[in-house]
Amino acid sequence: MAELLRNFIGGEWVEPSTGEYGESINPARISDVVARFPLSAREDVDRAVAAAKKAYDPWRLTPAPRRGEILFKAAEALRGRKDELGRLVTREMGKVLPEGKGDVQEAIDFAYYMAGEGRRLVSEVVPAELPNKDARSIRVPHGVFALITPWNFPVAIPVWKVFTALICGNTAVLKPSSDSPLCAVRLVEILEEAGLPAGVLNLVMGEGRAVGEPLALHPDVAGISFTGSSPVGEALERKAAELHRPIAVEMGGKNAILIMPDADLDLAVEGVLWGGFGTSGQRCTASSRVIVHQDVHDRFLEMLLAAIAPLRLGDGLEEETKIGPVINEPAVKKVLEYIRIGEEEGAKLHTGGMQVTEGELEHGYFIAPTLFSEVEPQMRIAREEIFGPVVSLLRCSSFEEGVQIVNDSHYGLSSAIYTRDVNLSARAERELDTGLVYINASTIGAEIQLPFGGYRHSGSGHPECGGRMGAIDFYTRIKTVYRDFSGRLQRAQVDV
């Protein structure tokens, strides 16, 4: 039975002003309508932003450790409900169950991490140059945040954004993807039950144009955090610039794994399968390019094909399934179109290359894991984000050439190298020009306690997640405070 969802505004679950609803569909079984969600409009956005604005002062004045206690309770609830939520992730967006649970685990890890941040939010105290004076920088919140999240990590990414915004003392309006609204509703319910005051977090569901854009550009919004496609993210960045409004965008990737002749090839095969076909290739960190040194190219190709053959497509809730569906019909079309382009460009298709509709698979959006070889760096399939289970093999004849191919990309999120040469690993770490670099591991699987973000068109340079340079910097503003307790005029730089 499809659950009927409501928006959450000022602590109340309310119907959308439009009275209209859309459907969230299980991509493995399209007759399974997971939820009916509000197709909201500007009016709902206005109410949600007003509620968040009203809640801002009391929330910013609540001591951060107290804010952290509420977030800690929510972390506990997420942990207690991991299995249930993991299954929901799989049902609503299709990734296989171990990954559905992994999505929730990432949310749990981050929720605890940010709850603890309530007792840190570290800033600086430095000596003043004049006597009887102190000099500090402190962190202050911005106000109301617009948080726009994707479907591919439907619990983890909302948690990244919501928990960071809130621990810093901001209030927020969350606009989740229309492909995963129920996951967002569960998260908001958990925060409500944890005791979050009314209005601190509001939820408005609906389409990007009707809800996401008016929300991001609302006059009372102080900052925007967006994860999703590059065209939408970049359009928002331009509009935010006109409004002089801080914006963090996390967008596409064309991530590459570089395989050197001395690599442990079995390990590299596992890394390519995990990074290329995990989540059906629908991660912004997915390994869509694999650049193999010519000395091991043919052997690697053979090993990889043998490893792809047994991968079973199916409903992610079934234990034997290794690869789930892609998210929806437009995704099927887009991925198939890229496969067609790849063939037209002259790449060699070894396996996959089609939608699979046999038996039960007829009822979902399944694309066979697809492998191209003889892909050239200039081909579109080597340059554009496909966001599906398609891996392109390219050749290189040296480390330098391999690195050059990895870096020659519009995007710059994640890269990896497989080598057993410790010196080469150090050079790779220095030369790979991406926000995330993995040595002897795939391009996916970032941990939450360090910054997560990409270079070039992958992101705006404001990373998500933890670490000293992580998302806290974006969700707070710095205020520099000088306090002179000398009781007389002291002139900096003059009275030295």
Catalytic residue numbers read: 250, 284
CB nearer to ligand UN1: give 159 or 269.
159
Quote the least distance from Cβ 286 to ligand UN1, whole Å.
Answer: 7
Kindly indicate which of the ranges 9-17, 266-274, 277-285, 466-474 contains the residues binding ligand UN1, using the contact rule CB under 6 A: 277-285
- Per CB under 6 A, does 240 bind ligand UN1? no
Q: Give the helix ranges, DSSP H, for 194-322.
A: 213-216, 230-242, 265-277, 294-308
Cβ–Cβ under 8 Å, residues 326 and 336: no
- Per CB under 6 A, does 289 bind ligand UN1? no
CB nearer to ligand UN1: give 134 or 447.
447
Q: Which residues of 79-93 are buried (b: 16+ CB within 10 A; e: fewer)?
A: beebeebbbbbbbbb
Residue of 11, 445, 467, 477 interacting with ligand UN1 (CB under 6 A): 445
- Per CB under 6 A, does 284 bind ligand UN1? yes
Q: Which two tokens stand for residue 409?
A: 């990309």
CB nearer to ligand UN1: give 112 or 153.
153
Quote the least distance from Cβ 252 to ligand UN1, whole Å.
Answer: 10
Q: In the 3-class helix/strand/coil scheme, how is 372-418 assigned residue by residue? A: EECCCCCCHHHHCCCCCCEEEEEEECCHHHHHHHHHCCCEECEEEEE
- Residues 322-361: x where in contact with ligand UN1 by CB under 6 A, - otherwise, as a string: ----------------------------------------
Residue of 101, 142, 283, 395 interacting with ligand UN1 (CB under 6 A): 283
Q: How many CB atoms lie within 10 A of CB 16?
A: 22
Of 70, 218, 252, residue with least CA distance to 145: 218
- CA-to-CA distance for 61 and 78, rounded, in angstroms? 26
Quote the least distance from Cβ 400 to ligand UN1, whole Å.
Answer: 27
Place of tokens 């065209």: 231
Residue of 40, 180, 225, 285 interacting with ligand UN1 (CB under 6 A): 285
CB nearer to ligand UN1: give 160 or 366.
160
Question: Which residues in 310-376 belong to E strands, given as ranges?
Answer: 348-351, 370-373
Kindly indicate which of the ranges 283-291, 313-321, 333-341, 373-381 contains the residues binding ligand UN1, using the contact rule CB under 6 A: 283-291
Kindly indicate which of the ranges 51-59, 186-194, 278-286, 487-495 contains the residues binding ligand UN1, using the contact rule CB under 6 A: 278-286
Quote the least distance from Cβ 441 to ligand UN1, whole Å.
Answer: 11
- Per CB under 6 A, does 106 bind ligand UN1? yes
Q: Which parts of 139-168 interact with ligand UN1 (CB under 6 A)?
A: 152-153
Q: DSSP code of 356?
A: -
Residue of 205, 257, 444, 471 interacting with ligand UN1 (CB under 6 A): 444
CB nearer to ligand UN1: give 283 or 297.
283
- Per CB under 6 A, does 446 bind ligand UN1? yes
- CA-to-CA distance for 334 and 76, rounded, in angstroms? 39
C-alpha neighbours within 13 Å on the C-beta side of residue 291: 26
Number of residues that bind ligand UN1 (CB under 6 A): 9
Contacts 24+ apart (CB under 8 A), 467-471: 471/160, 471/164, 471/248
CA dihedral 109, 112, 113, 116 (to 10 degrees): -170
CB nearer to ligand UN1: give 226 or 372.
226
CB nearer to ligand UN1: give 90 or 285.
285
Quote the least distance from Cβ 152 to ligand UN1, whole Å.
Answer: 6
Side chain identity, residue 471: A
Cβ–Cβ under 8 Å, residues 387 and 337: no
The residues of the shown chain that bind ligand UN1, judged by CB under 6 A, are: 106, 152-153, 283-285, 444-446
